[in-house]
Structures are given as C-alpha cells and as structure tokens.
Amino acid sequence: MEHMIRGIFLALALACGIYAVSIYRVGSGTFSFVIWIAGTVFFCACFYLAGKGRWGNVPVSIRRTCYGLIAFAVATMLICIGAMMSHFGDKGEKDLDYVIVLGAQMRSYGPSIIFQYRLDAAYEYLTENPDAICIVSGGKGDNEIVSEGEGGKKYLMEKGIPENRILAETTSVDTSENIANSLNLIREAGAGDGEKLRIGIVTNNFHVFRGVRLTKKLAGVETEVCGIAAYTVPWYLPNNMLRECFGIIKDIPNMF
C-alpha cells in the first residue's frame, strides 16, 4: 500500500511539473505556472513523507491541521469548479440589447487566442442578431501595444461588423472594471432609462459564471443578464479553471 501511495504522489508531482512547463511556454504574461510548480513541490513532499513511516512521526495536531486545510481547499475548489461548469453551455438569448466582451491579452499580431475565441463568439452572435450592440472591454497593459477594447473592436470590424455597432471600453484593468465601465458606457448612451435592458456577457466558458454574477450585481435587478460561453482549448482548462477559482474567491463580495 505504501508503494502504491508513493507512486501516486510521484505521478502527480511529475504531472504538475510537466504541466507547469507547458503553461510557461505559452508565454501568456501571467505567472500561473507558479501554481503548478507549487503543486510539484507539494506532491514531492507528500512522496517523501509517505515513506518509512515519516508522516506517522509528525505530531497528531499538525497532521489534523494539515488534513483540515487540505479538505477545506479541495471543497472550496470543487464548489468553484461546479459554479463555473454550470455556465459552460451558455449560448445567450436572442435579440439582446448589448453584448459585453470581457477583455484579454492583445499580442503584437492581434488578439491572443483566448481573446480571439471571445471575439469570435461575439461575432457569431452579432451576425445572428443584427440589432445588438457590442462593447469590447479592456485597457492597455504594460505588455500590450494597444488597448484590448480598441484591438478587439478592430478585429470585429475586419470580420465585417459595422463600426457603429461596436463600442470600445479602454480603461479597465480587471473583470470587475470591464463590466462596471461597460455598464457606464451603456448608461452614457441613454440606454436603460425607463426600460429593461437585456445584456449578454461574452467570455470563455470557465469565466462566464463570474462575469454574469458580477454584471447582475452591478447592473441591478432591472437588467436581464445572460452568458455567452466561448471556446477554451481543453489542455489549458485546468490552468484557467484553477486561476478562476482565485478570481471567484476574490470577487465573492462583489457577486452576492
């Protein structure tokens, strides 16, 4: 039994290490690969402690504390993942007034692949619903040559969406600001005065839950909000979903 348990820990350590390298090589500009390096270190420690009765020599109080912390972390992660997956299939509703595309990194050649998937989902919706107005949100980061809002607007225009159907929000730095600033643009346009607005949130599937919840809280009960889930490459889903767990935890006060 000991050999089997140690084998599982070693396999998990190797898997985390390999995955960390693959995430690092993407060069997304984030440091999420560090989470997987931490996972490698954690499972290496488990591998070591599981041998020669080492874990049994650790004081009971410390072992119980570790079990409690691990159980809490796993339970929290499962709840967050369940919330994310509940919106994976969101396709929006017909004839929305506005769709808000949540920003992601712009590269020198155009939108990053994850941003492109969001913009492509918005393009598909706008093509099928010609009266909807699109807001592409996102400011300019230190590693970007143009704001995400302007870069995304240009991408949609090149695909054939008329300029008068696209607004660019160019100052936000995170998801909450993406939504808050986009809602301000809608209010500045005079929309929502005396009428119930219908808004769609366009983002990658793992991100829809948080985007929709934040919008519902910020827009108020008079606004109908739905999600439009864009594709995510399956290989990168574990990394994106793990990062999103931290995002959900951070934004809980703003979502409920």
Domain boundary (35, 58, 81) is at 58
> Does residue 48 sit within a domain?
yes
Long-range contacts at 120-124 (CB < 8 A, ≥ 24 apart): 120/230, 120/231, 121/202, 121/228, 121/229, 121/230, 121/231, 122/156, 122/202, 122/228, 123/156, 123/159, 123/161
* Residue 208 pLDDT: 98
* Residue 30 pLDDT: 75
Structure tokens of 186?
């809608």
* Rg, C-alpha atoms of the chain: 21
Residues 189 and 115 in one domain: yes
d(CA 255, CA 215): 8
Q: 91: which DSSP letter? A: B
Residues 168 and 48 in one domain: no
Residues 129 and 228 in one domain: yes
What is the phi-psi region of residue 220: left when phi exceeds 0, alpha when psi lies from -120 to 50, beta otherwise?
left
- What is the number of structural domains in the chain? 2
Q: How far, in Å, are 67, 92, 190 from residue 180 at the CA level?
A: 40, 20, 16
> Does residue 45 sit within a domain?
yes
* Residue 195 pLDDT: 73
> Does residue 67 sit within a domain?
no
In this structure, what are the phi and psi dihedrals at residue 139, rounded to the nearest 5 degrees?
-85, -170
d(CA 185, CA 229): 23
End-to-end alpha carbon distance in the chain: 45
* Residue 143 pLDDT: 86
d(CA 118, CA 231): 8
Residues 49 and 121 in one domain: no
Which residues of the chain fall short of a pLDDT of 70?
29, 192-194
* Residue 192 pLDDT: 60
> Does residue 28 sit within a domain?
yes
d(CA 206, CA 188): 30
* Residue 97 pLDDT: 96
Residue-range definition of the domain harbouring residue 30? 1-58
Angle at 245 between CA 37 and CA 40, to 5 degrees: 15
> Does residue 63 sit within a domain?
no
d(CA 103, CA 117): 11
> Does residue 69 sit within a domain?
no
In this structure, what are the phi and psi dihedrals at residue 98, rounded to the nearest 5 degrees?
-135, 150
**Confidence (pTM):** 0.93
What's the number of CA atoms in the CB half-sphere (13 Å) around residue 147? 17
> Does residue 91 sit within a domain?
no
Is there a contact between 92 and 227 (Cβ–Cβ < 8 Å)?
yes
Closest CA to 198 of 133, 121, 106: 133
Residues 222 and 139 in one domain: yes
Amino acid making up residue 239: N
